Amino acid sequence: MISRDCSKRKFIEAVGDKEQSEIIRMAEAEVRAVEHFPLGQKPKPKDGAMEVQKWKNRKEAIPEYRNFVGAFLFFMRTRGIRPASISDEDFQLFCPVFKKLVERGQLPVEAMNCFESVE
């Protein structure tokens, strides 16, 4: 798994300098990994408030990260169709990856047009 702490930025940084086919492969693997990522056992009150809060944060972060990576995978496979489920802020994280693919000639320059209405 690329980001065990469910960091969107770490995921984008990890795939950012790869070829398009490798990016898609890595995103597919990440989706599979996060779907089987263990939430862990719910802490007991005697474990302390910090442990309970960490578990709650993790419980919320895992599905959010899964949705992000899934949206990124959809975006890569469709070569620029924006997923409806993604926020403007998260969508902007995709931009550097697409920009590098355009620079390498793996995507047409027009592929960057999808980011213009969000900036």
Render pLDDT for 15-50 as a digit per residue (tens, 0 to 9). Answer: 999 999 999 999 999 999 998 887 777 777 777 888
Q: Let me know if residue 56 belongs to a domain.
A: yes
Q: Which residues contact 50 (CB under 8 A, 6 or more apart)?
A: none
Q: Let me know if residue 1 belongs to a domain.
A: no
Neighbour tally for 4: CB within 10 Å: 10
* Domain encompassing residue 85: 8-37+47-115
Q: Let me know if residue 100 belongs to a domain.
A: yes
pTM listed for this prediction: 0.85
8 Å CB contact between 72 and 10: no
- The domain tally of the chain equals 1
Q: Let me know if residue 42 belongs to a domain.
A: no
Mean pLDDT of 71-100: 93
| 118: pLDDT strictly greater than 60 | no
Task: Classify the phi-psi angles of 42: left when phi > 0, otherwise alpha if psi is within -120 to 50, otherwise beta.
Answer: beta
Tokens (6 digits) for 66: 């899964």
Task: Classify the phi-psi angles of 45: left when phi > 0, otherwise alpha if psi is within -120 to 50, otherwise beta.
Answer: alpha
